Chain A
């Protein structure tokens, strides 16, 4: 039931609330609305 995989967070990002936009390819058999989901970016704990 899940799709999953690694998402890269560049090191120049600031700690804040960001967005991940999930989409299917335009030629996919099934139609999906591009979905923007809020995610929090945090710094690595030392």
Chain B
């Protein structure tokens, strides 16, 4: 009996493998369930403060709210940041209000060192950079354990990085760091052409929750002799599942 090609099985390949990552993803903390309560907020000057949430540690248990505000109600841009330095949910401590410095079209907030109260780890050179002229995007960077420069949140497609939200409930959640299991994300990915060999670029780091929230380790983090395995899982013209193996060895 002639076997009928079942075109409807093609989309199921994607669903099968995306579902198969759930078991492996069980090793990762579920950032969609992070507690979003803020114990105490200051009296903001802007009509609309903007919220972002950063989590730290191998289980992402340390929560640090970051809220953009204005120095005056009629200020032209967000130039004040409230940053929960001791991760206690209270943003009213005197040292948690930081004035931004204008720098090349950005507003930069230098936060110095941050010690995670859960793990005791100290991360240095913590900087949050707000870019009002670039779709109001926010870039976070820090030296994890005073060793590795972590940056985020990156987007999958060309466009703005993280954008803070109007409410805590909608705030993006970012997990900067290199502890806990790492994962991959495309950078600026385009469709691949059949019968060709094309350059594919990925970040290594932690996914966040929400758009444009991937935080990446530096290219020097992974030794050059350690390849990233890339297995293309596809269907051939007869509908059969096949695999093609490649290795990513370059860094940039």
Contact = CB atoms under 8 A, between A and B. Distances in A.
A2 B217 CA distance: 9
B191 interface: yes
B202 A22 contact: yes
B219 A7 contact: no
A37 B218 CA distance: 21
Given A11-B194, A22-B202, A41-B192, A36 B17 contact: yes
A2 B182 contact: no
Interface string B218-252: 11011100111111111111010010101111111
Interface in B57-84: none
Contact of A44 (B193, B229, B237): B193
Interface stretch (B22-30, B42-50, B114-122, B127-135): B22-30
A7 B200 contact: yes
Contact of B184 (A10, A12, A16, A32): A32
Given A2-B251, A5-B249, A42 B191 contact: yes
A33 to B, nearest CB: 5
Contact of B185 (A28, A37, A43): A37
A22 B87 CA distance: 34
- For this complex, into which size category does the number of interface residues on chain A fall? 35 or more
B189 A39 contact: yes
A1 B152 CA distance: 10
Interface residues of B, number: 65
Given A5-B199, A38-B18, A42-B193, A14 B229 contact: no
A39 B191 CA distance: 6
A37 B11 CA distance: 14
Given A19-B232, A40-B192, A43-B193, 20 more contacts: A1-B217, A1-B218, A2-B216, A5-B199, A5-B230, A6-B199, A7-B192, A9-B192, A9-B193, A11-B194, A14-B194, A17-B10, A19-B14, A30-B182, A32-B183, A32-B204, A33-B25, A33-B181, A34-B21, A41-B192
5 contacts: A6-B198, A7-B198, A7-B248, A31-B181, A42-B192
